[in-house]
Amino acid sequence: MTEICSRDFYFETIPAVIETPPFVKALAGSSYQKYPDVKQKKRPDSRRTNFRISCVRQGAFGNMSGQRGSSLCSSHKRSLLVLSMLVVFISSINNSLPLDEQRELEPETYSKYYNYDQLTDLLKSLAQKYANIANLTSIGRSVENRELWVMRITRDPTADGPGKPKFKYVGNMHGDETVSRQVLIYLLEYLLEKYGEEPRVTELVDSTDIYIMPSMNPDGFEKSKEEDCMGKDEGRNNAKNVDLNRSFPDQFEEIHVNAEEMPEVAAVMRWILQNQFVLSGNLHGGTVVASYPFDDSAAHDNEGTYSRSPDDALFRYLARVYAENNPVMKTGQPKCEENINETFKDGITNGAKWYDVAGGMQDFNYLKGSCLEITMELSCCKYPPSTQLKTEWDNNREALLAYMEKVIHIGVRGFVRAARNDAPLADAVIMVAGINHKVSTSRFGDYYRLLLPGTYNITVLAPGYIPMSVAGVEVTEGKAAVLNITLEAENDENPATLSIPESPTETSVNSASTDSSSSTGVNEAADEEKDSRVTVQPQDFRHHHYNDMELFLQKFSSEYSSITRLYSIGKSVQERSLWVMEISNNPGVHEFGEPEFKYIGNMHGNEVVGRELLLNLIEYLCRNYGTDPEITQLINSTRIHIMPSMNPDGYEVSQEDISGVQGRNNTNNYDLNRNFPDRFNFVTDPRQPETLAVMNWAKSYPFVLSANLHGGSLVVNYPFDDNPDNVSRYSKSSDDDVFRMVALAYSQENSQMYDGHSCKGMDLYQEYFKDGITNGAEWYNVHGGMQDWNYINTNCFEVTIELGCYKYPPAADLPKYWERNRRSLLQFIHQVHRGVKGVVIDSKDGSGIPNATITVDAINHPITSNFAGDYWRLLVPGKYHLTASAQGYSSVSTFVNVPKEGVEIVNFTLNRIHSYTNGQTTEDTTPVLDPSVKEFQSLIKQLSGESGLDKLIKDTPTQSSFRYRCYSEVSEFLRGLTLNFPEITSLQSLGQSVEFRTVWALEISNNPKVQEPSEPKIRFVAGIHGNAPVGTELLLEFAASLCINYGKNAAITRLINETRIVILPSINPDGRELAKEKDCTSTAGKTNVHGKDLDNDFFEPQPETRAVMDLIQERGFTLSVALDGGSVLVTYPYDKPVQSVENADTLRYLATVYANHHPKMHSGDTGCPNSQMGTIPNGVLRAAEWHSHMGSMKDFSVDFGHCPEITVYTSCCLFPPAEMLPTLWAENRKSLLSMLVEVHKGVRGVVKDKNSKPIVGAIIVLNGGVRVFTSEGGYFHALLAPGLHNIEAVADGYQQQSQKVSVSPFEAASSIIIEFDMENDIFGLPRELVVASAAAAMTALVVTACIIWCICSAKSNRQKDGFHRLRQYRDDYDDEIRLMSMGSKKSLLSHEFQDESESEEDTLYTNKL
């Protein structure tokens, strides 16, 4: 008989194998060794460990008796106890270990989806377990703050090195397409587990740098639902409802990447651009097919348009590799329920032919990252049940591996090094003849160019080195061919000779090679090769008149539309367009990090060589792009703008002449190169339309380098062009060395110019310029020149190039000019890539910081970053100390060595300074904002950017027929707005004019009849002078535009929802009825019918001004904009002649914002006849300097309404003809919208006490001067110029609070909370002392009062009608008298209660005695 006694013990532990401690063995003794009947069971997904401890009672077994068996079980009680202790010990040890060390990876079941937390745990565990080949990082975060995990799998995964191409897979871009997420998890598990076991996996991991991102859209995944095959539930888009695969920059459509709206896209873009990936796959779901670029076309047809990339054949091959290894995909018949009959030949398709997708990731990878990517659709059901996952993994495993292997098995690879020192050359460009797609080397000099088997001609070029072309490079099946390139520097004296190894698969080529007989087909000597780069020369040399030039430009713009864009920056006096040809590999788009360059010709109409050379250059660049390596690299890396003629009117009247002046000036007879604002001399000539157009153009693009082509001499002239003394002597700029460097770059390529004798053989000229360059002022003084203006007012360095002594030579001489200047023109463009460049980044969100200042020690010329944060700073080679600073950020400095060739990249990351509270600095303490608030802040930043308002205007076109309206029509128009848009408009009568016309106020907001103190309130006013009605019509059009686009345009809708807009179109309706159209100077209608100028009448108000004064004194307005006429400028308070301005910086800044968005105003030239002011800096002036007077509306607004007001003068003519209204609307619309944006900046907040009770009427003191008051709810809002400001809050009974806040010119006001404590000091003494003293005093007073009251009560019982009550018995008095030895008889009565009148009583008492 056998009997088993057993017991189970369960302990909550993590399964682990831990050696039994020695002291437990000692306690167990020999029984531990003899009977180790302990069985351990591990359960997945549990931290409970089960132990079964068994005793065996044996009967007839092993010749043991039952008693012996019983004894055995009994004798092991001690062992049982010891083993129990062992379990407890193991449990305690396990529970003390970190969780990551405790977890053991479970076998993959292929039967469940991992949510974000589970995915994170799994990835961390895998990274820990396989640390030798796996490294987990996050490239950013999603909208909802989830990490965007990337697992890097390669040998030595924490270090970068040469020789391993980079590959990536990205999954779950659409959150509800979930198969991709899971198969990538399975793939990385497979690679990690099979490494070292399977040779195929081991070779792949050892030779490739693999990056796997299982989920690009973790937020969307969390919202998706299993078994939702059609994606009906939320989850496809990110948490901001943005489709991530429609949000990348696109070649055919302008798409702005907003980091706030789509942080996932911004993070992946940075990841792509920072890593030189070679091959990539983007995994999706919804059908089964492999899709390849391009994803869209210029036509954007919904489907059916094949959009071919330069690597189309290669993409088809790569797509087939995947499809052929997927058993479903290769059939080409996915048979999805949604489209059961859909078929794809070979299981692949061109993206745009299938359906047009603008903003797709695969096109961005190819065009911007030089990475070949295809999109794999893995399953018909987007989110299939988890039971299907095993099948999906089986279908895709081989395809995923086979696709990855192509990164090392096809094409050509190698290193590019410098011949001088064998140093690797980073960013060298590798080009394949006939395929317009470049790749570049990494910082280690290695490159990887995927190619199909065949024979190729490959060109390698790097700035400062002689390009190298290698013909006949053989690419075969199997491993990639190896081609190593050695480049000679352009100025090396002794180039090395070519050495070609015997192996046909590995070739080393030197750029100075002369061995033309080798099988590799290497090009000839360096000099010959340099000339051989010119493959197509301009064919037609002639003088192009305007119409001929226009057709020429249109022809090349049409023929080479992929690299050109023709646009006009304005018109000449005679209405000829000022054409500019842009040449770039991505025309129409400023590419991040790419410098912009411009050439301007024919500024003097009779100096024509520059005009023709620039037309030749346009033809030369277009015809040689893609075939000539230098031209291709130049266009791919530079955005080039060419204006052949700045003075087309002057050209048309010019004629062939050596040195004549006919046509030199414009039609108005002004010299355009004497017409720009000057730093030393005041230019009195009116600014010309050609000048204004170029000024606006120069400020609209981030130009880095420029040249102005002239004629009449042969020299490069650099700033400065004049000096204060107006004498011919050297006038050195802060960047004199840079200007000399770029000037020499041009002259050295033109042998005649470099010789220095400008006009040999011409008796008229005996000039000599050393090396063909000269300082402008040393040659002769030029006031109002364009090159000085560029340098002082923009980031652009400009020189003036005199191309020859003949200003208008015969057409037969033009080929000679081209040949002499061709290399110079190209070499000068190359100079834009000198110095340093980089990006200034916000450390908080990774976005670029616009308008950041980059300064160089010892060079007094700061430059600023572009809107995207990128910058360029030309410098000569050497060591420099750079500092980047921006308003609201801490400055950062660094040292940099600028190389002799090329550009040094220097990026700056700045930390935000949020506030200083009562002397305490706080950085980066911004609270987590409501998503809606963040969205609006993002909108304000976007609209404040370089093209934000331009895009808004483009998206909201107006179709009004402009005309002037009389009073009754204005009233009808306003009523019409309220009837058609009742939900957002409210019309209010403020009062009536002298003749009983209503002064109307229209409010536009999402809740116009409800006070919303938390929203800023802006006032637009017009018609204070009835003879200047342009403002009235502009405001009516502005109101209509806002209302019509509400609900249609997201930006307009949001601005109206967040702002209270009040429009007063006509303050002086009576005067308006008296004014006459086309009367530019008449005063008829200027005043009201009482003859009062209303803008002088805010002291003794008329009915009209009284109505406006009441509105102003409501104190709820944040900003006011008044429109008037008679000039083109903006004025700010005060109009009073001697009034000091406390917040002048803010008022001037607000006026400048309006002027800067006006195409003419910011130039400072009013253009008005008989103007006595000349040029007004930035078009902004303090009002008292314009027309000083008392009693103005803007002064009243500031003093009594605590609201800043600016006055905009919209046109020189007070009452211009109605035909001018569309132009005036176009000029002012952007500025008016900018005010709606600006009113949301500055500082805003709420004031409350410790109990969170809002404090109304608290005073907010700005910078120790200007005061605003808190409104209902404790809200306040004040506009401030960008920078750091002191904010003080004062309220009765509370301690004064102070903060320093930072205001950005691009960001919405951050809300601050001011929390008051009770006032601690009373009368200068501590509150506790004063309270204690007051309490003691009150106590004493109460006690004294009680005593007096008691005494008075007692006396009142004896007193009647003012007499003492006398005692009934005289003896009593006698006794008292005898007892008293002192005092008078009267003193005896002092103990009685006496009346106030004692005299009569004393008499009575005396008589009785």
CB 1190 within 8 A of CB 1139: no
CA distance 1291 to 1260: 9
Instruction: List beta partners, residue 681.
Output: none
> DSSP 3-state assignment of 13?
coil
In which region does residue 1000 sit, left (phi positive, over 0), alpha (psi from -120 to 50) or beta (all else)?
A: beta
Alpha helices in 758-811 (DSSP H): 776-779, 786-793
Tally the residues of the chain.
1409
CB 330 within 8 A of CB 340: no
- Token readout for 165 is 């191409």
In which region does residue 1036 sit, left (phi positive, over 0), alpha (psi from -120 to 50) or beta (all else)?
A: alpha
> What is the three-state SS of 876-935?
CCEEEEEEEECCCECCEEEEEEECCCCEEECCEEECECCEEECCEEECCCCCCCCHHHHH
474 burial level (CB within 10 Å; 0-12, 13-18, 19+): middle
CB 483 within 8 A of CB 447: no
Residue pointed to by tokens 């008016």: 1232
CA distance 1103 to 677: 45
- The number of beta carbons lying within 10 Å of the beta carbon of residue 91 is 17
Which H helix or E strand runs over 802? Answer: strand 797-804
- Token readout for 134 is 């796996």
Q: At what angle do helices 1050-1058 and 1030-1045 cross, to 10 degrees?
A: 110
∠ CA 434-438-439 to the nearest 5 degrees?
Answer: 135
CB 322 within 8 A of CB 329: yes
- Token readout for 333 is 């018949």
Phi first, then psi: what are they for 772, rounded to 5°?
A: 75, 20
Catalytic sites, residue numbers: 377, 802
Residue type, 708: N
- The number of beta carbons lying within 10 Å of the beta carbon of residue 1166 is 23
CB 1258 within 8 A of CB 1313: no
> DSSP 3-state assignment of 1283?
strand
- Token readout for 1108 is 């406006």
Q: Who's near 1118: CB < 8 A, 6+ residues apart? A: 1016, 1017, 1018, 1203, 1239, 1242, 1277, 1278, 1279
Q: Who's near 761: CB < 8 A, 6+ residues apart? A: none
For the chain, first and last CA: distance in Å?
A: 140
- Token readout for 108 is 């993959």
- Token readout for 1061 is 């807009």
Query: If we measure between CA atoms, which residue out of 945, 951, 949 comes closest to residue 869?
Result: 945
> What is the three-state SS of 629-675?
HHHHHHHHHCEEEEECCCCHHHHHCCCCECCCCCCCCCCCCCCHHHC
Preceding peptide of 294 cis, ω within 30° = yes
CB 450 within 8 A of CB 309: no
Question: Exposure pattern of 1035-1046 as b/e (b: 16+ CB <10 Å)?
Answer: bbbbbbbbbbbb
- Token readout for 1203 is 């609201």
